[in-house]
A and B are shown apart, each in its own frame.
Chain A
């Protein structure tokens, strides 16, 4: 009797990891790895999902994508978004978090946190529509303000020279709150004794920030840097779609929006898949580079 019970227990012990982890693995395989493999396969073929005929076209989809002026514009814009938004979305929240930390009144600090975090909880589509009204080139709030000050009106997101900056601004407005909160939580967790010791050594606020705070919050800082990069490369597409649809003439598009257009507006799934593979490689490379360059500077011990 006891022997049978032991056998059962041993069998369960062997199966337990599969039972517990299995659903999660299945989920990842079905919704992540399988679509990636499918996209890679599709990027080398010409198929519209309906036709029984699937043609292998080699690197033709990649050749078309790289030679497409729209892709070149989108790639340039993606780079511009990254160069502008990644530093701004990290540095400004860090400065705001440092300032909030210095607010003595708890209620006022709470008010600042809530107010600055509020845009983060909005959906991209909602934020986009709200800004669409503010930016309205004829009757928008911003133009009314300009007029009140006797300044010329602007076409904002419909102006080819301003569209990309409007998208960048709304993306920043939408995302900086979360980074601010994460960095604030990390700053709060720094032991007071260290700051007190630094004060005794006459270290000023900037020196404390650079030599004490930043090294001690480096795990959070690194996490924020990685997620912000992914966010700027991918999630920005929500703002682009609502605010400008990539226009005027592709001036505010990015690679992900290019992929969306190829796939779901033009039904060129081969090209869209090629673009998606390029995005995957790009995000993987940038993330790998971030780990390679910065991970050894991160102090995980408190």
Chain B
């Protein structure tokens, strides 16, 4: 037998070695990084990925993976399944409204239990008003990440076309806004306009209705007491439903509203300040002014999300804290500010286009969005939203709607 010929055994051994080398990942030969997975609502095309990439480029020994998991509800569902399986995501972008659920059900970690020095350092980079918003049941469970507040967006092309005064004040009232909407509709509504379809849209949801009630001096929930049927709340929700009653507001769902606003179909929209990013990228000119006040008063609410740690593994929890410490730096905050959320850090990042109103409201102080307490709290938001929709549609009067909402909400809040 010729020595240079390849035997079957030799071929098999060679193939096995080649296959093994190809199959093993490169990092199998290097020291393993701690891998921190973030369950998030943002894909690779959003600024959050840039924050993750900037951190990974520093090669700290912690490798962060941003995993797009869908909406807040989708993320919470997946997190629940992962926790039940004993493999929670290390970090999850957690909606503010899920605060109690995050702490009480998913067992979000108290930063002080993981690393108290880092926890203090992280929170030291944020405005002091942020800490109460991410403290649930006495535990610091989140890094305040995306903070938004409802503001008023005006389509300036339609505004000018209707012949309205260009000089719009930053601080506007409900009465003024409705009067302008009526003028605008009178000017553009009766002719076959190529884009104009609706004068105003106050956003038919739980968030802007809360803002109206608070601006009227009321609350939906005062602590754990339901006060949604108070005289102030009735005044707030009556004003909220007024444009729909006047035929100035073509009531539609959130998705349709966003599309219509981007397409230049609605002249005035009150919705999240986080639309600054997408609106500033459009050809249409938009102006942001503050959310309408009621009788000169304003007590605005906030919304958005925070970054929470869920892993029960101490090593991974510390690795997660390392990433959060980076998120609290000026470098990360500057990258993140491209997204359009309000700057809640102490760093001077400058005011981005279309963020004037949000900054003014943030400086005036914001309350939390409604975090429904109790074991059945997440149902509370849905029930509230449904009653707001019924009132806006005129199916029930504000008085009756709020009274019935309270009756339906009471067992959910106390459960």
The residues of A with any CB-CB pair to B shorter than 8 Å are 48-51, 69-70, 132, 136-139, 155, 158, 160, 244-245, 247-250, 261-262, 264-268
Contacts and interface: CB of A to CB of B under 8 A. Distances in A.
A158 B382 contact: no
B263 A138 contact: yes
B378 interface: yes
Contacts of A138: 197-198, 250, 252, 256, 259-260, 263, 265-266
A49 B386 contact: no
B84 A266 contact: no
B378 to A, nearest CB: 4
B174 interface: no
Interface string B374-386: 0010110011011
B73 interface: yes
A276 to B, nearest CB: 16
Interface of B: 73, 76-77, 80-81, 83-84, 101, 105-107, 197-198, 250-253, 255-256, 259-260, 263, 265-266, 376, 378-379, 382-383, 385-387, 389-390, 393, 395, 408
Contact of B260 (A132, A139, A265): A139
B397 to A, nearest CB: 15
A117 to B, nearest CB: 30
B386 A249 contact: yes
Contact of B395 (A132, A160, A247): A160
Given A248-B393, A267-B378, A48 B105 contact: yes
A132 B254 CA distance: 13
Pick from B83, B105, B256 the residue with the most CB of A within 10 Å: B256
A160 B393 contact: yes
Contacts of B80: 48-50, 267
Nearest to B83: A50
Contacts of B256: 136-138, 158
B105 A267 contact: yes
A55 B378 CA distance: 20
A69 B385 CA distance: 14
Contact of A50 (B106, B253, B395): B106
A245 to B, nearest CB: 8
Contacts of A261: 382
B interface majority secondary structure = helix
A268 B105 contact: no
A245 B81 CA distance: 23
15 contacts: A50-B105, A51-B105, A136-B256, A137-B256, A138-B259, A138-B266, A158-B251, A158-B256, A247-B386, A249-B386, A249-B390, A264-B77, A267-B105, A268-B376, A268-B379
B73 A158 contact: no
Contacts, number: 82
B77 A139 contact: no
A260 to B, nearest CB: 11
Nearest to A244: B253
Nearest to A46: B375
B105 A248 contact: no
A208 B378 CA distance: 58
A262 B376 CA distance: 10
Nearest to B81: A49
Contacts of B266: 138
A6 B194 CA distance: 87
Contacts of B253: 158, 244-245, 247-248
A36 B390 CA distance: 36
Contacts of A136: 256, 259
Contacts of B387: 249
Contacts of B378: 265-267
B408 A69 contact: yes
A115 to B, nearest CB: 29
B379 A155 contact: no
Contacts of B389: 160, 247-249
Contacts of A160: 389, 393, 395
Nearest to B412: A266
Contact of A265 (B73, B84, B383): B73
A52 to B, nearest CB: 11
A247 B80 CA distance: 26
B265 A139 contact: yes
B409 to A, nearest CB: 12
A51 to B, nearest CB: 8
A91 to B, nearest CB: 33
Nearest to A261: B382
Given A48-B105, A50-B105, A266-B379, A139 B259 contact: yes
Contact of A266 (B83, B198, B382, B408): B382
Contact of A49 (B84, B259, B379): B84
A155 B201 CA distance: 14
Contacts of A248: 253, 389, 393
Given A50-B80, A155-B250, A158-B251, 9 more contacts: A48-B105, A137-B252, A137-B256, A138-B198, A138-B259, A248-B253, A249-B393, A266-B382, A268-B379
A158 B254 CA distance: 10
Contacts of A264: 73, 77
B255 to A, nearest CB: 8
A158 B73 CA distance: 22
A245 B73 CA distance: 13
Nearest to B204: A248
A155 B392 CA distance: 14
Given A138-B265, A261-B382, A264-B73, A158 B252 contact: yes
A138 B269 CA distance: 15
B190 to A, nearest CB: 14
- 8 tightest A-B CB contacts, nearest first: A249-B386, A138-B260, A49-B84, A158-B252, A266-B378, A249-B389, A266-B379, A138-B265
A250 B386 contact: yes
B402 to A, nearest CB: 14
Nearest to B192: A147
Given A50-B106, A69-B408, A261-B382, A267 B252 contact: no
Contacts of B197: 138-139
B382 A265 contact: yes
A247 B197 CA distance: 22
A65 B84 CA distance: 25
Contact of A155 (B77, B101, B252): B252
A55 B387 CA distance: 32
A137 B376 contact: no
Contact of A139 (B76, B263, B382): B263
